[in-house]
Amino acid sequence: MALPDTFSEGPVRIAVIGGTGISALEAEGFTAVASLNIQTPYGAPSSPLTILKTPQNTPIAFLSRHGLHHELTPTEVPNRANIAALRSIGVRSIVAFSAVGSLQEYIRPRDFVIPSQIIDRTKGIRASTFFEGGLVGHVSFADPFDTGLAKAVFNIGSDGVLKGEGVKMHKDGLLICMEGPQFSTRAESNMYRSWGGTVINMSALPEAKLAKEAEIAYVMVCMSTDYDCWRTGEAAVTVETVMGNMHANSANAKHLAAAILEELAKEKYQDLVNAKHLEGSSKWACCTAPSARSAEAVKKMEFILPGYFS
């Protein structure tokens, strides 16, 4: 039976974005209660927003980054529509999942990494800001991942949630986000290692930048699937390797998502989950004089941050 396309039991504060190998959130005790087809001033998101109730009865939103059947390349993901749609239903925190290559020996395939920093190696061909067309703004991106949320997620993941021989949770990763869709050359992979890179993907940006502009606390859970192509004498990464390890990772991903959502439902996390610390940051990032702001640009922004620029 089709799910209702409306949800009226109050705002949904937390969203999970699933990446490669995670096109649905089928954790035990989760019930899908609605499927929202939201249109935004930036177009339609990658997938309908599925609203689920957790076993604690907290509503959460789930979005499949590459579409329901992985039909969108990392370059084609409609990041602005995704973040705008989530913000429009009340989302203030995002836990994003990603399949990543490991750039360090100690991060083994199937390990999990919470990054704290990122280097942008995308090619400037993805729409990466909401501030445009007569409304200029510059938000801080010094800490691209939410520090409080990252700490909470790392602690939850280190508490025996991840199963499997030697599977580890790492923190403070340096994530390289490349354009793709082709994987890196060996020279590039070694260069990223020389920069101190720990993991690599193609999807964290501009997702994280747009979340920051939308005043949403954003954390990425990176699931290592391969050693990219830097190991001498070893075969380079293939989609088959990524998918094989993602398949093995998916049970851990679901357990971790469930544990994170259970913990974040607690009263002590409510300021964090509601991103109180980010409130107003985008309002004060705007440089354009009120009298000079483009009416069209302001109208688009009303969808995300109502009342901020008018």
Ligand X SMILES: CSC[C@H]1O[C@H](OP(=O)(O)O)[C@H](O)[C@@H]1O
Ligand Y SMILES: Nc1ncnc2[nH]cnc12
From the number of C-beta atoms within 10 Å of its C-beta (0-12, 13-18, 19+), residue 208 rates as buried
Q: Is 20 in the site for ligand X (CB under 6 A)?
A: yes
Q: How far out from the chain centre does Cα 190 lie?
A: 26
Q: Is 187 in the site for ligand X (CB under 6 A)?
A: no
Q: Which does 251 bind (CB under 5 to 8 A by kind): ligand Y, ligand X, none?
A: none
Which region among 146-154, 168-176, 199-207, 259-267 touches ligand X (by CB under 6 A)?
199-207
The size of the interface with ligand X (CB under 6 A), counted in residues, is: 13
Q: Is 126 in the site for ligand X (CB under 6 A)?
A: no
Residue 153 CB-half CA count within 13 A: 34
CB 213, CB 139: distance < 8 Å: yes
Amino acid type, 232: T
203 among the known binding-site residues?
yes
Amino acid type, 292: A
Q: Which does 239 bind (CB under 5 to 8 A by kind): ligand X, ligand Y, none?
A: ligand X
Q: Is 83 in the site for ligand Y (CB under 6 A)?
A: no
99 among the known binding-site residues?
yes
Site residues (CB under 6 A) for ligand Y, limited to 233-262: 237, 242
Q: Which does 96 bind (CB under 5 to 8 A by kind): ligand Y, ligand X, none?
A: none
Taking CB under 6 A as the criterion, the residue among 202, 208, 264, 265 binding ligand X is 202
The CB-of-243 to ligand Y minimum distance in angstroms stands at: 10
The CB-of-251 to ligand Y minimum distance in angstroms stands at: 18
Q: Is 98 in the site for ligand X (CB under 6 A)?
A: yes
Taking CB under 6 A as the criterion, the residue among 45, 48, 74, 137 binding ligand X is 74
CB 218, CB 98: distance < 8 Å: no
Contact pattern for ligand Y over residues 170 through 189, marking x by CB under 6 A: --------x----x------
CA dihedral 297, 278, 223, 27 (to 10 degrees): -90
Q: How crowded is residue 44: how many other Cβ atoms within 10 Å of its Cβ? A: 14
The CB-of-246 to ligand Y minimum distance in angstroms stands at: 8
Taking CB under 6 A as the criterion, the residue among 27, 118, 214, 242 binding ligand X is 242
Which region among 39-47, 160-168, 223-231, 272-280 touches ligand Y (by CB under 6 A)?
223-231
Q: Which does 13 bind (CB under 5 to 8 A by kind): ligand Y, ligand X, none?
A: none
Residue ranges binding ligand Y (CB under 6 A)? 99-101, 178, 183, 200-202, 225-226, 228, 237, 242
Residue ranges binding ligand X (CB under 6 A)? 19-20, 65-66, 74, 98-99, 180, 201-203, 239, 242
